[in-house]
A and B are shown apart, each in its own frame.
Chain A
C-alpha cells in the first residue's frame, strides 16, 4: 500500500488493542487481504491462500468459517457482474423522508423489487437534504423509473423530495479493499494502485 501521495496529514493514533472493533485479528486481516479480489481457482483454494499468508489450509478454512458465523463474511460466492448479465440500468435514488418515519419506511422500501441496497444516511444541509438511499437495478431506465414511482407511492406524505442519480460512467469498481491491496487473482492485468 502506498501513501506517498498523501503527505498532508499525520495519521491519527491507532487502536492499539490486538483486535480492532470488528474483531478481526492480524491473521484474519491477512486472509481478508489475500481473498478479497477472489479465490485462486484450484482444487484446494484454502491451501493456496494459506501458502500465501503463512498458515495451514485448515487454519484458513476455520477462520473463514468463523468470520462467516460472525457476519464479517456474508457469503463465499460466484459473484456475477450484473451489468454484463442484463441489469444495464442502475439508479441511486435518494429521498428526503420524515426522520420520525424513515426507519419503518426504509424497511418497506427494501422489500420493493429491484432494490438491492437500502440505507439511512445523514443529511448535510443545505446542500444535501436526502436521508434515505435505495439502489435500483433494472433492464431498462423505464423499469428503474417504475421502481422509483413505486417507492414514491409507498413513502407518500412522508417524502418531501427525491432524485434518481443515474451513473453516467463507472470509473472504478472493485470488491471491498480493506487496507492495502494485491493484484487481482482473477485478472490477467494487475490492478494499478496509487
Chain B
C-alpha cells in the first residue's frame, strides 16, 4: 500500500530527501537537523515519529554494512508452491533471518541469513536446513559493485496517483 503523499507537507519531504543519505552523528542530531531546516528539535522529532508510524520511514538509525558488521548471505530454497507459506513460517522463525521474499521461480523463497560470524552463520543454515528438509542454496556475496539504497523520491508523480 502506498501512503497518501498529499499528507506529507514540504517539511516532511525535505526531511526525507535530505536525511535518507545521512543524519549528523552528534550529541543532538535532531537539534542540528532542526537548525538546518529552520524549525525546532521537537518538531523534527514529532515529524520523524509520524513518518515512521505512517510507514513512510522504515526506521531512523544506522545502516550497517552486512559484510563488515557480521556474517550474512543470500539464501534460497525450492519448495512446493502449495506449502510455501508453511516453509516461510519456519524460515521466518529461525534465528538470524531478516528478509524473506517469495519469488516467481523454482527457487521460490529467498531470504537473508545473518549471524555474528561465519561459523555461526553456517550452523544456523544447517539447523534450518534440517528443519526444512530441503537443501538451502547458499549465495554469499563474492564481489559488491554498488550498494546505494537512496533514490530520488518522485513527489510530483506520486501526487497524481
Contact = CB atoms under 8 A, between A and B. Distances in A.
Contacts of A39: 59-62
In the A-B complex, the 3 residue pairs with the closest CB atoms:
A194-B93, A110-B146, A38-B59
Given A11-B123, A128-B137, A115 B114 contact: no
A119 B143 contact: yes
Contacts of A85: 2-3, 5, 16, 56, 153, 158
A73 B117 contact: no
A89 to B, nearest CB: 12
Contacts of A139: 154, 157
A78 B48 contact: yes
Interface string B63-75: 1111011101010
A120 B143 contact: yes
Interface of A: 1-3, 5-6, 8-9, 11-15, 20-22, 24, 29, 32, 35-39, 41-46, 57, 61, 64-65, 67-68, 70-88, 92, 103, 106-107, 109-111, 115-122, 124, 127-128, 133, 137, 139, 163, 165-180, 184, 186, 188, 193-194
Q: Which of B2, B26, B72, B107 has the most CB of A within 10 A?
A: B2
15 contacts: A37-B61, A43-B30, A64-B62, A75-B62, A77-B63, A81-B57, A85-B158, A86-B161, A106-B143, A124-B137, A128-B107, A128-B137, A169-B101, A170-B101, A177-B97
Nearest to A44: B28
B108 to A, nearest CB: 8
A30 B153 CA distance: 33
A31 B120 CA distance: 20
Contacts of B140: 121-122
Nearest to A110: B146
B147 A117 contact: yes
B57 A121 contact: no
Given A44-B28, A106-B143, A32 B55 contact: no
B111 to A, nearest CB: 7
B95 A46 contact: no
B104 to A, nearest CB: 6
Nearest to A112: B146
Contacts of A41: 30, 45, 48-49, 52, 60
A79 B146 contact: no
Given A172-B92, A177-B98, A76 B139 contact: no
Given A9-B127, A92-B110, 13 more contacts: A5-B93, A6-B131, A29-B116, A39-B60, A76-B23, A76-B63, A80-B16, A80-B56, A80-B58, A117-B144, A124-B137, A172-B97, A177-B96
Contact of B65 (A43, A71, A109, A180): A71
Contacts of A8: 126-127, 130-131
Interface in B77-122: 88, 91-107, 109-111, 114-120, 122
B153 A86 contact: yes
B10 interface: no
